[in-house]
Structure 1
């Protein structure tokens, strides 16, 4: 059931993986929210009015009840505490640690090395060509997916961890989207790919897909 919380405004970009993961969490909680788009390709995230709101100049940012929240993983955990039903973390302490580890493989070890500002730096300052950028992107995605393949096989069920949507799915689903967009060979990760494709069928996840956003190309 959708909760109409008009105090929520998500600043993001349709193809941003971090915005994508935050949309999944918002949708999973059944929250209505307003979206404001900042086109990363044209540098809108560095516009003075947005920098006045979020000095780091990154997306997403969530305006919530008079506060500005940044960093997608922190936003998602805040959502889970503020709106605890349905939960995005398991009840057991050990299980929560595993779910957080799965999410952080993406948030800390994969995504930061493949985001727009890193790729722009490699291309514009270090003269990396298209083939080098593809190799760079693929290397870090495959390294993270190698670990996630084992963890999903060990702990997964209907979802990446168990049989309920968790913080892990919020992070992993967008990263697989990025891998597909960059043409990464995913044959070595059958369990991960099959699980994510199943998770994508969930209405809250499907509605968060980049192609379904109002600012999509």
Structure 2
């Protein structure tokens, strides 16, 4: 069988478990795992080993035409792309809303998520794949995005990104901050607000139980 299986975190919330096709170190998969945990949704973890090219297997491409993780199967419904999955979960499973009622804070959540998903992450992946001697450039991309996030969240952050409750912005921020620290050795003293948020994430089971290093497909010796 192509994909390995394991039980994901979260309380039993549906009769038929969803299937999450995930890769342990994928920040896109990480943000979906957080949402599933927050909403108390039980799921079956289906590991797609990107290092072995399993994302290009015909079986997986039927679920995710781009070949990217994550992909979610919920009964007869298949959703690929992390943002689309999060919006699907938000509409179908309203428990623990991922978006605040306040329209201004909702807009800030969309902006923060977009900075990570559209500014930091695509440039980061391009550099990783195509440019030699890439670490300084990677740090520049991440730090530019983090500088923008510090400005955006100043004045609205509480314990979490847009107040004292966990919302969409936090689901995008936590994986990116984790990757910045573990993989790219970013000096977080330059970003005090994000560093403070990261400390709050460390104390919350939804973020800790779904960490890359706590996934069933993590290598025996983690190397970031």
Taking structure 1 as the reference length, what is the TM-score of the superposition?
Answer: 0.91
User: After superposition, what is the alpha-carbon deviation per residue over 1:41-74, rounded to whole angstroms, capped at 9, x for unaligned?
Assistant: 2211111211122221110000012111011011
Measured after TM superposition, the shift of residue 119 of structure 1 is 4.3
Partner of 1:182: 184
**Native 8 Å contact 1:158 1:199 kept in 2:** no
Q: What does residue 168 of structure 1 align with? A: 169
- In structure 2, C-alpha distance between the alignment counterparts of 1:186 and 1:154, rounded to whole Å: 19
8 Å Cα contact 1:160/1:196 also seen in 2: no
Q: 1:56 aligns with which of 37, 56, 66?
A: 66
- Listed one character per residue, the Cα deviations across residues 82-120 of structure 1 (whole Å, up to 9, x for unaligned) are 1112111001222211111111110111112223xx345
Tell me the residue number matched to 1:125: none
Matches within 5 A, 1:91-106: 91-106=101-116
Shift >3 Å, 4+ stretches: none
Deviation at 1:175, TM superposition (A): 0.2
Distance, in Å, in 1 between the alignment partners of 2:204 and 2:67 is 31
Residue equivalent to 1:134: 135
Q: Counterparts of 1:86 and 1:52 in 2: how far apart (Å)?
A: 31
Q: How does 1:199-210 map onto structure 2 within 5 Å? A: 199-210=201-212
Range 28-37 or range 195-204, more displaced: 195-204
Map 1:70-149 → 2, pairs under 5 A: 70-115=80-125, 118-119=126-127, 121-122=129-130, 128-129=131-132, 132-149=133-150
Matched residue of 1:157: which SS?
Answer: coil
Whether contact under 8 Å (1:159, 1:169) holds in the other structure is yes
Structure 1 gap ranges (5+): 123-127
In the alignment of these two chains, the number of paired residues is 208
Compared with structure 1, are the counterparts of its residues 133 and 210 closer, same or farther at alpha carbon in structure 2 (3 Å cutoff)?
A: same
Q: Which protein, 1 or 2, shows the higher relative CO under an 8 Å CA cutoff with sep ≥ 6?
A: 1
Match of 2:25 in 1: 15
Q: TM-score, normalised by structure 2?
A: 0.88
State whether residues 149 and 192 of structure 1, in contact with CA within 8 Å, keep that contact through their aligned partners in structure 2: yes
1:40 is aligned to 50
8 Å CA contact 1:29–1:86 kept in 2: the answer is yes
Asked if the contact 2:63/2:80 (under 8 Å) is kept, the reply is no
* Ranges in structure 2 where 5+ consecutive residues have no aligned partner: 1-9, 220-224
**Separation of aligned partners in 2, 1:183 and 1:189:** 13
Distance 1:67 1:166 in 2: 24
